[in-house]
Structure 1
Amino acid sequence: MTEQRGLQEFFDDPATIATRHKMSASASEPVGQAELLALEPGAAERFVTLGLDYPERFGPSELRTAIAAKYSSVPFDGVLITSGLDEGLALLFTALIEPRDRVIVLTPCYPPHLLLPEWRGAEIVPWPARPENDWVPDLDELAGLLSKPTKAVITTFPQNPTGFMPDEAYLSAFLALLERSGTVLLSDEIYAGLPDGTAAPNLADRYLKAVSLHGLSKTCGLPGLRLGWLASRDEKMMGAVKQVKDLFNCYVPAPVAFLAGVAFRNETKLIRRNSDILEASIMAVEEFIARHGNLFSWVPPGAGTVAFPRWHGPGGTQALSDQLVREASIALAPSLCFDAGDDHVRFGMCRRSFPDSLAALEKFLSSAL
């Protein structure tokens, strides 16, 4: 009998940590500090002489300006730097959501999208993307859900874990529904930017009551930097969030801000690096599934670093995942980690090691089935 675990529990399990092949990591290939500093002449020398006095409140103006420049209509004061996107989500739900508020959550999703409103005492209403619809969330269904008073809708585009990325027609129809209802949108865009040339949704530019959430972890390969941000044109919402952040920690550590500045100035190079890695992995998955269509099928991701292949083999993916950890030193997150049934797994494909890990999975399948 297998035990259902959450996503973070899966990654924190010592058995998972000890595996050789990590197939479900959602961030891009991590960039080393030396590699990052080498992108900019003189950066390494400036970094070691960096002062460590109190930094500017809410982050350096230069960094906030660089983030605001990613949007066409978000002002400087509409940007709030956070310690990764986890802090950003916590700040938003603390500031904006109250007990008995109704919150619609696009699912499957990053588990805190469900756990944080639950912690705040909100009524959680799932808006499910379904495999039989190629993971495209039904807008008619959303319209029905919005017929009742709703405090907020939270989405992820590109979606984690499915890789769904809406096209322009879909986004226009989606935003029209929100405009009619006047509902706040919390738009998690942390996976936007890969592969190279994929435009970010930047929904804060397109809807006044939207907050766009992004960061440097997934697309730039800097999850250890813990640098995220919120962007919005809604002054009242952002003021409420800043009040909450001010109660805890309104500073960005100077070393983090320095390295983030280097990343922003060299973002094109980082995105190109990680796009090459991602494209090689997607090609490897397509070839793998062509050989093993009896065991796996998938909807290729529209954008982002993750995909959600379906398992057609014996048993569920929780049992498969447990067996892979024990017998093949492979960490592959099952869909139960996302409360999304027991017949999918999450591929995290923007790692140089992913094609080799896929080969290890193929070797296991050939011997075990």
Structure 2
Amino acid sequence: MQFLTMIFLNNFLGGDEMKIAGFGVEAWLNQYEKSAVYDLSQSTIESLSLAEISKLTGLTLSELFGKQKLDYGWIEGSPAFKQAVAQLYQQVEPENVLQTNGATGANYLALYALLEPGDQIVAEYPSYQQLSDIPKSFGIETVYWRLDPQNNWYPDLNRLKQLITAKTKMICLNNANNPTGTLLQRDFLNEVVELAKQVNAYVLVDEVYQPLSADASFVSIVDLYEKGISTNSLSKTYSVPGIRVGWIATNDQKITDIFRKYRDYTMICAGVLNDTLAVALLNNQAKVLARNQQIVKENAEILTNWVQREDKVELKHFPAIPFAFPKFEINGDIETFCVKLLQETGVLLVPGNRFAILNHVRLGYCTDKATLKKGLQLLSEYLLNY
């Protein structure tokens, strides 16, 4: 109630406008991605077409959509959607899954529903900017838990112990991390959970970059902690960012009911056609993931071989996610480099300064192979002469 009153006073009674910083990576992509010839900036695995989805699922478009009425459909997501998502976790029941407009909608919902001025959050940094700047715009004290570049961008638990206080309401993480690719291991997350328990804090984890690897290095926060909140979507691992379907999942009915109330103020539904596609993909996830694992494996080999030939590029091991975060040994500003690279070669990267990191770029390597190979070739030539 306190939070809603603050919004009312600010927006309708002439108070100071709540301010938020520009979204660095999104502003960059909005400005440049449509002019790219060789787009190596994206953080998803090569997007599926409707024809490919039809082939993967064995369903024609008429069978998928022909009899679907274009009403609101299931507001929280269809029962089939909730059931399919719940099966991705060990500790989540279908009724504790809520459909959202992508993971961005899920993150916003969690932050909007659970935080009030006077609270404090500890936010992994750098990370997906939404997770720190939205709370800050709400008047939440935001404390940064910085990743350590000297430790391959892994955060320090001792530092977290110093940052947490009795005011800490939430710890915000991104696993795997965007842009560094840092993958937080199960033992590490268990330590985070134990620290969160000491102050009864939530742990919100954006898990859209669940790695496509055969090992057991990834675990969802909701399978470790009763106050864990998982946000995810079909945009990255499942290659359909265009349908804008995500979800928020918990293992606690009371938390989910809070989200239900606030969700009514942020969205109605994700759309019945989108829900239909989401269910079809989740019901055929083995085929989708097999396709994407192959793309990640083959394209990662191309990228790794390229890095080994480049004297001006440093890239340590990266998990099986759709992007890497190499360091470029260049003189001058990394954004200037990326703008000129695009203008002169048509190759698009995301400069690291858009995540407040110098001399690095986010390189999305899970595009089609022709684009990747030609883009890397042009990047090599540009680096050589820059």
TM range (shorter): over 0.9
Alpha-carbon displacement from aligned partner over 1:12-47 (angstroms, at most 9, x marks no partner): 11x442111111200110000111022223342322
Aligned-residue Cα RMSD (Å) equals 1.8
1:345 equivalent to 2:361? Answer yes
- Determine whether 1:164 maps to 2:178: no
Q: Does 1:312 align with 2:329?
A: yes
Identity %: 27
Matched residue of 1:151: which SS? strand
Q: Which has the higher contact order (CA 8 A, sep 6+)?
A: 1
- Distance in 2 between residues matched to 1:193 and 1:290, nearest whole Å: 23
Instruction: Quote how far apart the aligned CAs of 1:148 are.
Output: 4.5
Q: TM-score w.r.t. structure 1 length?
A: 0.93
Q: 1:168 to 1:89 in 2, by over 3 A?
A: closer
Structure 1 CA distance, aligned partners of 2:23 and 2:283? Answer: 39
- The residue correspondences of 1:1-369 to structure 2 (distance < 5 A) are 6-13=24-31, 15-46=32-63, 47-195=65-213, 200-293=218-311, 295-340=312-357, 342-352=358-368, 353-366=371-384, 368-369=385-386
Partners of 2:62 and 2:189 lie apart in 1 by 45
Question: 1:19–1:325: 8 Å Cα contact kept in structure 2?
Answer: yes
- Quote how far apart the aligned CAs of 1:49 are: 2.6
- Specify whether residues 347 and 187 from structure 1 end up closer, same or farther in structure 2 by C-alpha distance, changes over 3 A only: same
| Offset of residue 354 of structure 1 | 2.3
The DSSP-based 3-state class of the residue aligned with 2:270 is coil
Label 1:68 to 1:16 Cα distance change in 2 as closer, same or farther (>3 A).
closer
User: When the two structures are aligned, how many residues end up with a matched partner?
Assistant: 362
Deviation of the 1:99 alpha carbon: 1.6
Q: Deviations over 1:143-190 (max 9, x none)?
A: 111145201111011111111112333222222222233210111100
1:186 counterpart letter in structure 2: L
* SS in structure 2 at match of 1:104: strand
Deviations, residues 225-248 of structure 1 (Å, cap 9, x unaligned): 101001001222221211111134
Query: More deviation in 221-230 or 241-250?
Result: 241-250
Counterparts of 2:171 and 2:186, CA distance in 1: 19
Distance in 2 between residues matched to 1:16 and 1:248, nearest whole Å: 28
Q: Cα distance 1:167–1:5, how it changes in 2: closer, same or farther (>3 A)?
A: closer
1:105 is displaced (CA, Å) by 0.8
Output the amino acid matched with 2:126.
Answer: P
- Report the residue type matching 1:22 in the other structure: D
| TM-score (ref. length: structure 2) | 0.89
* Structure-2 change in CA distance of 1:49 and 1:193 (3 Å): farther
Is contact 1:163-1:305 (8 Å) kept? no
- The one-letter code sitting in structure 1 at the alignment partner of 2:176 is P
Distance 1:5 1:329, change over 3 A: farther
Gaps of 5+ in 2: 1-21
- Greater shift, 319-328 or 135-144, is seen at 319-328
